[in-house]
Structure 1
Amino acid sequence: MNLVVLLIFTNLVAGKVVDIETAEPLQAHITIENLNQIIFCDSLGEFSTPEITVGKYNLTISHVGFENKSIEVTVAENDTVYLNITLNQTMIPIEPIDVQSEKPVTISVQTIEQEEFQNIPGAEKDVFRAVQTLPGVNAPSDYLGIMYVRGGELYENNVFLDGIEILSPYHYFGVGSVFNTDLIERFEFYSGTFPARYGDAMSSVLTIESREPTNKTAGDMSLDFMEANWLYLCPVNNKLSFFFSAKRNYLGMLLKSFGVIEDIILPYYLDFQGKVLFNSNIGTFSVSGLRSQEESDIETTFDYDKLKIEIDGKSHSFATSWYKQFMREIRCQAHLFYGNLERHLYGEAPGPYGETETSTEEVAVEKYGISINTFMKISGIDCEIGCGGGHYSFMHSGPKVEDILYGIEIFNFSLDVDTSDYYGFLYATQRFPLIKNFVFECGGRIDRFPTIQGIVFSPRVQLIYIKNPVVYIGYGHQHQLPPLEYELEEIQSSYARCFNFGIEYLIMPTLLTKIEVYNKNYNNLVSEHYTDIQEKYFETDGYGTASGIEVSLRRYRIGSFWGWISYTYSLSKRTSPYDLNYTVTHGHRPHIFNIIFGTNSIKGLELGIKFQLASGTAYSEVIGKQWSNPGFGSGDWIPVYAPEKTYLPLYQRLDLHIEKSFGLFGFNGAFYITILNVFNHQNIQGYFYNYDVTKRKTFYMIPRVPLLGVRLKF
């Protein structure tokens, strides 16, 4: 919660928390004991309370690795109490807590700290596995980190690392994340009406905040059967510091050792990430980079039919950033960035006469530009304005092998596009007290998308009652550039009209319950059409709806226990590039129930449990077949799908993570074991049909897989 985005009220307590030895700002947590409320500092160590009444208050300030401090303050009428607080380091760890519930500025957002997601089984190596446990998020496969959010499609989510958009946050269709989780301090996940600063997404925005180098040299190393990670953070002097990390996986080797060599993705990837920070009198400068390289083979054989896909690719992201705090009222930041993505996919599939058909898909994406954001306080009103622009290019040739893999497109339908254009955006937001205990936020965003003529406007409004229980309502338009690979002739930006209503009740400082309902209406979606001679083409005239309710109970990570329980019920229908019908979204699950539990009640031992019970995913059932070229000899057998989707059998899975810490030769470390799918439940991924659609084969999700590893810190 940044101080610059908090509201200025008549009676409040504000201040800054720093390390007493180094004067470095601390993202500490402040508990107002009298009110049973918790707030936390921003990256500058600054904090500010909501409006409070006149009187005396007891504050408790805590931060991991530091001693608690208690302060009594007296607030008078029309008075702002400003505190300069210092904390002493301690060898006794004090667990941090996430207090998103006390942020009266943003709604439909969830914040997860590193200490939480690294103990979620399966998420210790992939931040997206942690996101998949949150309300409203549906994972289409155990093997993939990609997600459907509140009835949206896979491509309707946007990911930012330290304010920079990442073009390719996944490896091959989402098998793994490109981010080293040891480098992630926390992440925020927006699934409703986003702040106006975020665009080009209709379903969700994930913002990842990386760790900052400290005044001490530090490092992390971890090794298990799945992958190896290495991280090094180093201060050069009091102004210059850097970090560097590398990650390589061994998932294919692990699965082969268990005899699982068919019907799955056997990947290899190598990722590098680094950042250099320099503090000066004119601001903080940083240079960051992310490089990812990947290869993979997918092979399956059924009824003498063989499907094979080979993948290789690489992506890069580079950015130069500047940040400056002007007094306490103004903060500016700017990013100059460049990103690209190249992928090559080769596929083999059986033909109608026993021959092998081959096809190649090529994808190349490049984006560069600049963005500037300014945060200000003017007469008690928080203002945020920003702008940016740059150049975007996109090239695609061949069929979408990803669609072939999911069984939703024929093999030999080629999509060939090569386009480039400039883009730009401008946004503004203001937040102010409307009446006592009510906060109103209004904003808007103007986008000029590449390849689309004209501009689009996205209004965003929120009304929040800031006392406990917090009640909020939000409405906004969220525009996005549609997938360009579908050779669209007249392109319009796709957009969703979003409505959210929710209640958050802080039962106690560590326990939050939340209920949220939402409704979304999609417009200008990509949909397929056919000419009079049955030639396929695409237009942005599709539509859809999504609605649901999310209920959760969360205990923040403080003391011995933490975790959350959530249930999501949703309805989602839309047209798509693969279906003329207005029907259930591909991969949709109407019911999702999650339990995440962690404890460190046994000294030196961490335990994490993840359980999910959900409806099977929606899919198009094959009800027949037809010849692609009636009346002629040459052609293919094409499946005939039911007009309405059906659901796979019930999904259930239990994962377990156990971690035991140790000290050795001055190093701190931990041994850990993660068991995925403890009961080895056979969850169905989908079905594959032979060339003449007379037989089908069942694909299953991940079997029971134990992972043993060790982690060292220095």
Structure 2
Amino acid sequence: MKIDNCKKNTSSLLNYQYPNIHFSKHLLLIFIFLLKVINNIISQQISVSGYIHDYNTGENLIGAHVFTNNLKCLTFSNNYGHFNIKISKTDTINFSYVGYKNSVIYNLQKDTIIIIRLIPSIQIDKVDIVGNRNNLEYIGINKIDIKQIKTLPIIAGETDILKSLQLLPGIQGGIEGTSGFHVRGSSPDQNLFLVDGVPVYNINHFFGVFSVFNTDAINNAELYKSIFPARYGGRIASVLDITMKEGNKEGFHGNTSIGLISSKILLEGPIKSSKTTYLLTARRTYFDLFMVPILWIINEKEYTGGYYFYDINAKINHTLNNKNRFFLSIYNGKDKYYIIGNDHYSDNSGYSYYNTTKNKLGWGNFTSLFRWNRIIGENSFMNVSLFYSQFNFGINNFWKSEKKADSIMYNSEFHENQSSVLNDAGISIDFDSYLINNYKLKYGVKFTHHLFNPRNDIYFITDIDQTLNVDTTFSPKKYLSNELNLYIENDIKFNILKANIGIRYSYYDVFKTSYNTIEPRILLNINLNKAICFQTGFSKNYQFIHLLTSSTIGFPTDQWVPVTEKVRPIEANQFSTGFQYLKNNFRFNIDAFYKNIYNLLEFKEGGSIASWEEKVTQGKGKAYGIEFYFGKEYGKTKGWIAYTLSYSKRFFNELNFGKEFPYKYDRRHDLKIVILYKINEKWEISANWILSSGYAYTLAIEKYRSGAEFDRYYMFGRYTFSDEIDYIENRNNMRMPLYHRLDIGASYNWFKKNTKR
């Protein structure tokens, strides 16, 4: 572009270039004035960021409130205790966390990175139950108070976070007395369990009676059971995000507890200085130490057996400076069950028999994590994680029988070895950007390499008459897959509207088959005033792994398998809308939901893990209902009432004659009442009552013989039998009776100098 007269003023120049548009000096002056005003406003704002810690221990306080006196600026600390807020030089910043004294800072004149340490309040009555903070928050997001969990009635002295969550609306526990987890008509594999951001696949000890999460090691836990943010993915029902403690920065601290089932120990403290801390917790059951000798005596030194489980959590943290922090954590948990026996006897024919039995069953999780937190510039926070997760189980069975007559010896042996392994290894990079007040941008990328080895069986059989020899190894193919996730998430607060809007992209590759998915998430919260809010939301979720199960209590022999060319990922669309009322210390919630689920996986009739892709079928499901919650949040007497009315149904073309049937955990009514009462500083009592519809199950109404005969082998020979066939009219055609349970507990705290018992 050529300009002939460079001396033309700006207004004339613009009119010369764009003759159809009239530019006046007045318009130009207004534009320059607005630029100066905006520049002055921005130059008057300063950025304040840092971390919020507990004064006594140095632990991160997650979800702490950070706000100015005029409430125009409000934010929260994230999962690492980090916060960022934009203020003017005349603003005062308030820091608030439930159960802690407020802290205030003012007269900040420049961008600052600070560490805030809040002092626990002497008044401990105002402690959350299981729910949101004392303000109007998103319905369906529950922040769990670990202190409160320890006051609820417990089994054999073992506090359990999953059993406590079962007392919330929309969550069922499956089989009575277990730590099963069914959210809004889901199956157990549709829940994502994270420990410091690392997925954990097996959540049960003792065949489902206890969970693997040691409450002594937990700093914070959040449950998302409705519309969860775009940063979470890979499951369609819920997310339980658990953050472990980091270790006391102020001094050495230890804790031990002895229960009827297990004992626990916790050690934590600084290493040389408060910049480096450690945490070590361990838990082990010990009834096997008593049962082994008792069974040995009862069975006249012929047979004995036992069972035990243990957990170990270890963590080291190092603060390089105000901007950089490093973490290394490890979790290892195992269950082991075994039977050992030797016996001998003689029959009237002069034969002597010598039998040896060794049966072992073991399973467990192992996770490790290296994490780097960094504050970038004035407005951003970065987290980099390298992680590894493994779930494995193994069965080893050995029987040997010796039949002796005169000088002739016959041997019969049976060997069985089964194993299954699931490995995850990957890296994730997450960013929090605080561009302006009341708007936070989250985005990140995650790569995971999966290894599935569904099952490896080895059999060796020799019969007692030497007429049968079987040596078989069955090894299904291993599945190697790669998963890439990208997400963007927007936290927005504008006047009465608060929104979380995000989108997640996933790429999953397995055996030259790939899937690309887009998952939009939107959650809107409208605060009509300080007491009333309405909420609505929609989410699409995909799940790339399935759990093949034939049990009802989460046995470790249930198999995790990936999507393949023949098996598609689970897809779910969920709609949710709710109402919340908060007045003084009372909260009332109503939340209605509707969820469509596609590509659910089930065994065909008579299917098994061997060649599983050919023996499964995929179908649809739907779940819908309404949840009610009414609670008193603090005071000497606290508690809540939770009621859920829900439906959960399944449809498979190849099952139940192509007719719709209820899911086995389709419980129509679910009522829970919890009361906690603090008598004084030493004594607390609690009670909870549960009333629930029975779960559905399948019962044959007739039996008939097939007419075919089969030979079956066992250690002493073979036998012939005729198979019986059950006639089942419909799947889940029966229901267990109405179920109710009352639990009562008491807690006594004995205070001594520097100790609490």
TM-score normalised to structure 2 length: 0.70
Alignment check: 8 A CA contact 1:617 1:648 kept: yes
2:464 corresponds to: none
The answer to whether residue 703 in structure 2 is matched with residue 614 in structure 1 is: no
1:121 corresponds to: 153
| Among 490, 515, 519, the residue aligned to 1:458 | 519
Q: What amino acid is the match of 1:437?
A: I
2:312 corresponds to: 272
* Alpha-carbon distance change, 341 to 312 in structure 1, aligned in 2, over 3 angstroms: same
1:368 corresponds to: 425
1:318 corresponds to: 368
In terms of mean alpha carbon deviation, does 469-478 or 597-606 score higher?
597-606
| Among 281, 284, 291, the residue aligned to 1:248 | 284
| Among 625, 629, 651, the residue aligned to 2:703 | 625
1:550 corresponds to: 627
Matches within 5 A, 1:189-588: 189-215=223-249, 216-236=251-271, 237-250=273-286, 267-281=307-321, 283-296=324-337, 311-327=361-377, 329-345=379-395, 361-379=418-436, 381-397=439-455, 417-431=476-490, 433=492, 436-451=495-510, 452-467=513-528, 468-480=531-543, 481-483=545-547, 485=559, 490-508=566-584, 510-529=585-604, 537-539=614-616, 541-556=618-633, 558-575=634-651, 579-580=655-656, 581-588=659-666
| Among 740, 743, 752, the residue aligned to 1:655 | 743
Number of residue pairs aligned between Structure 1 and Structure 2: 612
The alpha-carbon deviation at position 63 of structure 1 amounts to 5.5
Once superposed, what is the RMSD of the aligned Cα atoms? 4.6
1:135 corresponds to: 169
Q: What amino acid is the match of 2:285?
A: N
* Alpha-carbon distance change, 622 to 49 in structure 1, aligned in 2, over 3 angstroms: farther
In terms of mean alpha carbon deviation, does 497-506 or 478-487 score higher?
478-487
Q: Deviations over 1:499-541 (max 9, x none)?
A: 1111111122x3211110001101011144579xxx9944553
Q: What amino acid is the match of 2:262?
A: E
| Among 119, 128, 146, the residue aligned to 1:97 | 128
Q: What amino acid is the match of 1:397?
A: R
Larger CA Rg, structure 1 vs 2: 2
Q: Percent identity?
A: 23
Alignment check: 8 A CA contact 2:267 2:280 kept: yes
Alignment check: 8 A CA contact 1:538 1:577 kept: no
Alignment check: 8 A CA contact 1:151 1:546 kept: yes
Q: Deviations over 1:657-712 (max 9, x none)?
A: 21111134x45233xxxxxxxxxxxxxxxxxxxxxxxxxxxxxxxxxxxxxxxxxx
Q: What amino acid is the match of 1:555?
A: K
| Among 717, 727, 751, the residue aligned to 1:640 | 727
Q: Deviations over 1:332-386 (max 9, x none)?
A: 11111112122124799xxxxxxx9997653211111111111112355421111
User: Partner of 2:189: helix, strand, or coil?
Assistant: helix
Q: What amino acid is the match of 1:479?
A: Y
In structure 1, stretches of 5+ residues that fail to align are 1-7, 74-79, 299-307, 349-355, 400-413, 671-714
* Alpha-carbon distance change, 193 to 659 in structure 1, aligned in 2, over 3 angstroms: same
Take 1:577 and 1:128, find their aligned partners in 2: how far apart are those partners?
A: 35
Take 1:524 and 1:269, find their aligned partners in 2: how far apart are those partners?
A: 35
* Alpha-carbon distance change, 224 to 58 in structure 1, aligned in 2, over 3 angstroms: same
Q: Deviations over 1:28-86 (max 9, x none)?
A: 56899999x999655666679999xxxx999794664x55568999xxxxxx9x99977
* Alpha-carbon distance change, 415 to 133 in structure 1, aligned in 2, over 3 angstroms: farther
The answer to whether residue 705 in structure 2 is matched with residue 598 in structure 1 is: no
* Alpha-carbon distance change, 374 to 119 in structure 1, aligned in 2, over 3 angstroms: same
Q: Deviations over 1:558-603 (max 9, x none)?
A: 4323322100111000147994453111133211111122222323
Take 2:605 and 2:338, find their aligned partners in 1: how far apart are those partners?
A: 34
In structure 2, stretches of 5+ residues that fail to align are 1-41, 299-304, 340-357, 399-412, 458-472, 549-558, 711-719
The alpha-carbon deviation at position 90 of structure 1 amounts to 6.7
The answer to whether residue 240 in structure 2 is matched with residue 152 in structure 1 is: no
1:180 corresponds to: 214
* Alpha-carbon distance change, 104 to 544 in structure 1, aligned in 2, over 3 angstroms: same
* Alpha-carbon distance change, 630 to 390 in structure 1, aligned in 2, over 3 angstroms: same
The alpha-carbon deviation at position 639 of structure 1 amounts to 3.1
Alignment check: 8 A CA contact 2:694 2:738 kept: yes
The alpha-carbon deviation at position 250 of structure 1 amounts to 4.2
Alignment check: 8 A CA contact 1:598 1:609 kept: yes
Q: Deviations over 1:80-110 (max 9, x none)?
A: 9x99977556766575437726777754211
* Alpha-carbon distance change, 628 to 326 in structure 1, aligned in 2, over 3 angstroms: farther
Take 1:438 and 1:621, find their aligned partners in 2: how far apart are those partners?
A: 51
Take 1:33 and 1:552, find their aligned partners in 2: how far apart are those partners?
A: 32
* Alpha-carbon distance change, 660 to 631 in structure 1, aligned in 2, over 3 angstroms: closer
Q: Deviations over 1:364-423 (max 9, x none)?
A: 111111111111123554211111113111122379xxxxxxxxxxxxxx9964323232
Take 1:612 and 1:32, find their aligned partners in 2: how far apart are those partners?
A: 43
Take 1:635 and 1:12, find their aligned partners in 2: how far apart are those partners?
A: 83
TM-score normalised to structure 1 length: 0.74
The alpha-carbon deviation at position 460 of structure 1 amounts to 1.0
Alignment check: 8 A CA contact 1:429 1:441 kept: no
